[in-house]
């Protein structure tokens, strides 16, 4: 894959703007964190339904209640994964999520039966796969916000949230960028027919550089400066492992979305980011990576 300077400039400028928006959402507070992934969740859903409509033309005829109801059902799962601190006037949002999940879980198939005279199993399956592919992943990254680390400030120890979710996202950025750069300069061996522009050299180089860069960053720059010695000791080697899990599974996520686009016969899932495509193009790696990172943190580390 030859290096294209103009393409690289476009991708870089867009990525900078994108990074600023992402960082504001990730670091201001948990409300902006939730709002950020809520917007991305719905953006991915709209593109997913468009792609499925290209693959299965009958999916284009789904009722508006099905189309938006399944998205709201996924949003209900995001609400369910909220931290207990997400309250407003003593209203617990997890209670609302149960109502949303139950309502749209029953209404969608009933409406399909009423309008179509029969239950279209293929359409329902494709919608359910969307819940697993999109809503599950964003629900889990919201849950990762709730995993606490101890932070030292002025001789006191406070609980800091959101580190692991942000770290996973950073791994995706580093892996994608390094894979693109390495592949552009030395990539020769095609990685997969699904994504012909990817090379083995770029893929392996991106994973290795992601593991090294993110591990060194957290172990020697971020953690010792801001966090308690106990947390630094516990997490010392874990950053490398988490980065490896994120980079490898993220690559699988990239290939999965490429396969969906190939079946749909499109180049990009959308065009909201010049040089990067749509929401799914930008977050395809994260959708799969966050599942495996979440499993490792929740099953192995906790």
**208-264 residue pLDDT tens:** 999 999 999 999 999 988 888 888 888 989 999 999 999 999 999 999 999 999 999
Judged against a pLDDT cut of 90, whether residue 7 lies above it is answered with no
Q: Select from 30, 285, 291, 22 the least CA-distant residue to 141.
A: 291
Q: How far is CA 180 from CA 42, 87, 225, 268, 275, in A?
A: 27, 42, 31, 17, 13
Instruction: Return the axis-axis angle of helices 163-186 and 238-264, rounded to nearest 10°.
Output: 60
- Residues 59-86 pLDDT 10s: 998 888 899 999 999 999 998 888 765 6
What pLDDT is recorded for position 109?
Answer: 76
**Torsion-angle region of residue 95: left (phi > 0), alpha (psi -120 to 50) or beta?**
alpha
- Residue 168 CA: distances (Å) to CA of 47, 78, 140, 185, 252: 23, 18, 12, 26, 15
| Nearest alpha carbon to residue 70 among 37, 116, 21, 103 | 103
Q: Where are the alpha helices (DSSP H) in the chain?
A: 5-27, 30-55, 64-80, 93-116, 121-130, 136-144, 163-186, 200-217, 223-226, 229-235, 238-264, 279-295
C-alpha separations of 231 from 70, 167, 237 in Å: 40, 15, 11
């Amino acid at each position: 894959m030859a290096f294209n300077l103009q393409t690289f400039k476009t991708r870089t400028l867009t990525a900078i703007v994108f990074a600023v928006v992402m960082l504001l959402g990730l670091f201001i507070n948990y409300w902006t964190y939730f709002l950020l992934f809520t917007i991305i969740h719905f953006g991915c859903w709209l593109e997913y339904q468009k792609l499925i409509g290209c693959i299965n033309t009958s999916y284009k005829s789904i009722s508006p209640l099905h189309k938006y109801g399944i998205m709201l059902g996924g949003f209900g799962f995001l609400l369910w994964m909220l931290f207990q601190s997400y309250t407003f006037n003593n209203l617990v949002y997890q209670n609302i999520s149960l109502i949303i999940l139950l309502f749209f879980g029953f209404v969608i198939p009933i409406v399909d039966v009423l309008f179509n005279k029969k239950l279209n199993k293929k359409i329902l399956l494709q919608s359910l796969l969307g819940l697993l592919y999109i809503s599950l992943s964003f629900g889990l990254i919201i849950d990762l916000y709730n995993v606490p680390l101890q932070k030292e400030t002025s001789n006191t120890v406070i609980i800091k949230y959101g580190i692991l979710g942000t770290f996973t996202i950073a791994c995706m950025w580093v892996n994608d960028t390094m894979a693109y750069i390495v592949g552009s300069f030395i990539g020769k061996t095609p990685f997969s027919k699904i994504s012909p522009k990817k090379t083995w050299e770029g893929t392996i180089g991106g994973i290795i550089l992601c593991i090294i860069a993110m591990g060194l960053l957290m172990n020697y720059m971020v953690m010792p400066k801001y966090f308690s010695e106990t947390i630094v000791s516990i997490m010392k080697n874990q950053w490398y492992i988490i980065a490896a899990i994120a980079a490898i599974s993220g690559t699988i996520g990239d290939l999965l979305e490429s396969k969906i686009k190939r079946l749909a016969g499109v180049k990009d899932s959308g065009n909201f980011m010049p040089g990067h495509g749509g929401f799914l193009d930008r977050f395809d790696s994260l959708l799969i990576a966050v599942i495996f990172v979440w499993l490792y943190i929740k099953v192995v580390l906790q």
